[in-house]
Structure 1
């Protein structure tokens, strides 16, 4: 009986530890901007073709799905995924938002990552102050984080 309780407690601690490392990728830019303003963090806007772009998938696997990136992202940015899938269905509202942002930031290739500071004006409208952009950086999370440090 004691062994079963011990195993249960260990599994619960592991679950809490793993869930604390999970990332939240927002898809609604308005909600993400409000959250970023509240948290006083910049937005990391990830323009991706999640179901067809090889470099996007590689960036996800080599950087975004690592513990090092999770820790860095949770401390430094609010994540926004702006996806342009070919096979995966997408809500019309999200699709329109993503195309509008793609045009606004003149995104021509994937993956493209823009860092912006959302700011709310006196009329309660949000504007996005560009900080800089990057894409895929070879070398894993340490190199990628190092490359974006100058942007932030």
Structure 2
């Protein structure tokens, strides 16, 4: 019983503090309009991009980011998996490919674009060698003013 209670508490804590990333641009725009928030669009390659992993660990997992994100942003993620061997043709109708064509034509990873609730670009940034999560969050906040 005691182990079950501890497991339940840990699960509740993890769910309560997890981030609510979406992969649907339409859903992100609806939520941003309903909640009067900015869209935080992240282009990432989590299984092959070392700087993407570092940014996840340094910034996106931080309590500072989570607190600001919950108040200011709708989190939208466009993850691009590594393709082994001969690359297959990509689906031009895949939503992340459409987002990359519009907002990340140069193919930078990681890459953040802040958008208003209609999808208009407010600011963008790549990986910066800033030492703290607070500095990253301040940079993102200043882009979305």
- Structure 1 and Structure 2 fold alike (TM over 0.5): yes
- Assess if the C-alpha contact under 8 Å between 1:111 and 1:136 holds in 2: yes
The count of corresponding residues between Structure 1 and Structure 2 is 137
| RMSD between superposed Cα atoms in Å | 2.4
Which residue number corresponds to residue 87 of structure 2? none
User: Does the Cα contact within 8 Å between 1:28 and 1:94 map onto a contact in 2?
Assistant: no
Pair 151,86 (structure 1): closer, same or farther in 2 beyond 3 Å: same
In the TM superposition, residue 133 of structure 1 has moved relative to its aligned partner by 0.5
Alignment partner, residue 47 of structure 1: 43
Kept in 1: contact 2:92–2:98 (CA 8 A): no
**Structure having the higher Rg:** 1
Where structure 1 has 5 or more consecutive residues not aligned to the other structure, the ranges are 120-127
TM-score normalised to structure 2 length: 0.80
Cross-structure match for 2:120? 129
**Aligned equivalents of 1:134 and 1:36: distance in 2?**
20
Q: C-alpha displacement at 1:75, in angstroms?
A: 1.2
What is the deviation of 1:10? 7.2
Structure 1 counterpart of 2:141, from 124, 143, 149: 149
The Cα of 1:86 is off from its aligned counterpart by: 1.3
Query: In structure 2, the residue corresponding to 1:86 is in which secondary structure?
Result: coil
Contact between 1:27 and 1:94, CA under 8 Å: does it hold in 2? no
Unmatched 5+ stretches in structure 2: 85-89
| 1:29 alignment partner, one of 25, 35, 47 | 25
Whether the 8 Å contact between 2:64 and 2:137 is mirrored in structure 1 is no
1:107-141: CA deviations, max 9, x gaps? 4211110000123xxxxxxxx11100012232121
- Asked whether 1:99 is paired with 2:91, we answer no
Greater RCO (CA < 8 Å, at least 6 residues apart): 2
Q: Is the 8 A contact 1:51 1:85 kept in 2?
A: yes
Runs of 4+ aligned residues of structure 1 deviating over 6 Å after TM superposition are 7-11, 92-95
Q: Do the aligned partners of residues 86 and 151 (structure 1) sit closer, same or farther apart at CA in structure 2, a change above 3 Å counting?
A: same
What's 1:125 paired with? Answer: none
